[in-house]
Amino acid sequence: MKKDVFFHWSQARFLKDTLRNKNIEVGDNTYYSGFYHGEHFDELCVRYLLGDPESLKILRANDTEIDRLIIGKFCCFASGVVIVMGGNQGHNPENITVYPFPDKLAELKKLKGDTVIGNDVWLGTEAMILPGVKIGDGAIIGARALVSKDVEPYNVVVGNPGRVIKQRFSDDEVDKLLKIRWWDWPMKEVFAQQDILCSGNIDLLWEIHLRRPAAKMHLRRPAAEKRLGSPPA
């Protein structure tokens, strides 16, 4: 293991500073703290991501679609998180055999769609996210949880298989937070509101949001609401 990647368990690295794969999109201030596994995020945590020269050899000649990993802003990844990409890897449970014979691999491989992790999401150590999963804003994924289904915003998921044990806030509070979208504020405003963001006072944050010029403009025009977290802007 490359222990020089992280010098101490308290150290973290912003993903925008380390990512090299063009099929990973990440928002600002999202970090990985990987001391205990000793590798960069895209070397250890993101598995079977198509698009490199070797994997392109096994795709169909006319297949231009590649599943991407899209991560929002202000996310926290603990050491050893695994995000599985690449669809079914050529293993089809509906066939007599799940063995991916080389001559059949191109037609056996089925993509699952982009994996999307919203904003302000915390993934605990060694949590595993399966292909095509969408995780909403503000969700928490517990240590070693196995997530095979979409997760709604501000839900807490634990266990194997992953199950929702609670919603962090009331429905009304979650709706407010999804409209506030504090992570999209200018960084100066975000860091100016650290005291409120690091409290449970959602009503006060809502009042501040309503006083912002951008919020007043938004209230003048109708917009379709999204329940699941959206990709970073």
Residues with active-site annotation:
91
Nearest to residue 141, comparing CAs of 151, 174, 86, 131?
A: 151
Of 80, 97, 81, 99, the closest CA to residue 89 belongs to 99
Q: Where are the beta strands (DSSP E) in 15-95?
A: 24-26, 31-32, 46-47, 69-71, 76-77, 82-84
CB burial of residue 100 (10 Å; 0-12, 13-18, 19+): middle
Spatial CA neighbour of 25 closest among 116, 113, 111: 116
